[in-house]
A and B are shown apart, each in its own frame.
Chain A
């Protein structure tokens, strides 16, 4: 994982206030609903975000995904995605 995330692999992640996932039957995908915007998620993004529940740590999220897929780039992809989601304010680190 990237340096900054390695430091916090025990951190618990949660959705930011006012941000939530929605199953959209019409559009056949998951949507991320947040103040004044909507993001149509692809399959892998929604799989990760479903694990962001205020209980799981970054480590745990990785372990669960790794158990589902044998993918060499998973570690790197996950780190990049989480960093991006954190900067966009979709998710946040839960204060202990």
Chain B
């Protein structure tokens, strides 16, 4: 098979560690967490930054786990700055003291995205498996007092979708300029806990109505965004510009993926930055080329008029729900597997019977 020509990647997501003091029910890390002894060295990350800059990457997300738990974080931020790559820290806020914050900003950190589980302490504890609310709010306050922008990100699900108004109020009171309300996407741990997380259509619509109203009221003061949960949508989300067209994710052990959820696709063998250059991975590796272009598609996508708009939806979701990553995303009404999504919604609307599964941190 000849490779489809690809253009340069824009962003690099660096999953520095899978360690995290929190144990969220919807954590996007793979259910098999990478242990500390298998994490990459600082030198290796520095080399990845250099290689990414040569590939014309212009933006980097530092994430985890909790990236503040990785000792070389500030050195990586400094290298990103030296290579003129925009750096964004995605953090739970645990471990973000004033000193750490100042050091990161001095090294060139350009923006922060902080997560919050709920406006309510008890719910937050149920979700994160740990009482961290006070520490998190303290960190948020420190961060909003700096000169760099802070976005607050709340993953929405059954347990907090009724809190939209409270969440917005809380963000206002903390002087947050950007609030992202992001529906749970079902990969990793979230898939394990799907029945406990997926809200009903009515709950979603109620939340959305509050959001729409507030968004108008707060225009010019706070930027609000709502990320749709695609199980409840009628058309699939377009894979970001198509598979492996803009992003590279390097995971804590050096494996490279086109997106955070791609490790779910166990029929592909993802290349390691320990064995290959980032350039080879991006341009030549079979995994990154697997779903570029349209040749790989099967029906109904193959002859569908929307294929250039949504690229057949999400490959990871197609794999998770059908076992074949080339299938149409089952969220699509035209997919012969669409009933699987309907069944999941029905299961989540019934009283969930399985146990809650928090990720274990060791």
The residues of A with any CB-CB pair to B shorter than 8 Å are 16-18, 20, 22, 24, 26-27, 31, 33-36, 38, 87, 89
Contact = CB atoms under 8 A, between A and B. Distances in A.
A16 B149 contact: yes
A38 B194 CA distance: 32
A17 B10 CA distance: 21
Interface string B68-96: 00000000000000001010100000000
B292 interface: no
A89 B218 CA distance: 13
A33 B113 contact: no
A87 B215 CA distance: 12
Contacts of B214: none
A17 B150 CA distance: 10
Contacts of B88: 35-36
B110 A38 contact: no
A78 B11 CA distance: 30
B356 interface: no
Interface string B7-34: 0101100000000000000000000000
B56 A36 contact: no
Interface of B: 8, 10-11, 56, 58-59, 61, 84, 86, 88, 110-111, 113, 147-149, 151, 177-178, 219-220, 223
Nearest to A35: B111
16 contacts: A16-B149, A17-B147, A18-B110, A18-B111, A22-B86, A26-B8, A26-B56, A27-B8, A33-B110, A34-B86, A35-B110, A36-B61, A36-B111, A36-B151, A87-B220, A89-B178
B149 A24 contact: no
Contacts of A26: 8, 56
A21 to B, nearest CB: 11
Interface centre among A24, A33, A35 (most CB of B within 10 A): A35
Contacts of A89: 177-178, 223
A89 B177 CA distance: 10
Contact of A31 (B58, B219, B223): B58
A22 B88 CA distance: 16
Contact of B58 (A17, A18, A33, A87): A33
A37 to B, nearest CB: 8
A17 B59 contact: no
Given A35-B178, A36-B113, A38-B10, A18 B148 contact: yes
A12 to B, nearest CB: 18
Contacts of B59: 33, 38
B113 A35 contact: yes
Contacts of A31: 58
Given A18-B149, A35-B151, A24 B178 contact: no
Nearest to B147: A17
Contacts of A22: 58, 84, 86
A50 B148 CA distance: 20
Interface centre among B58, B113, B219 (most CB of A within 10 A): B58
A89 B223 CA distance: 8
B86 A33 contact: yes
Contacts of B223: 89
User: Which 10 A-B pairs have CB atoms at the shortest separation, nearest pair first?
Assistant: A18-B149, A35-B111, A26-B56, A33-B86, A18-B111, A17-B149, A26-B8, A35-B149, A38-B10, A89-B223
B151 A17 contact: no
A17 B178 CA distance: 12
Contacts of A34: 86, 111
A91 to B, nearest CB: 13
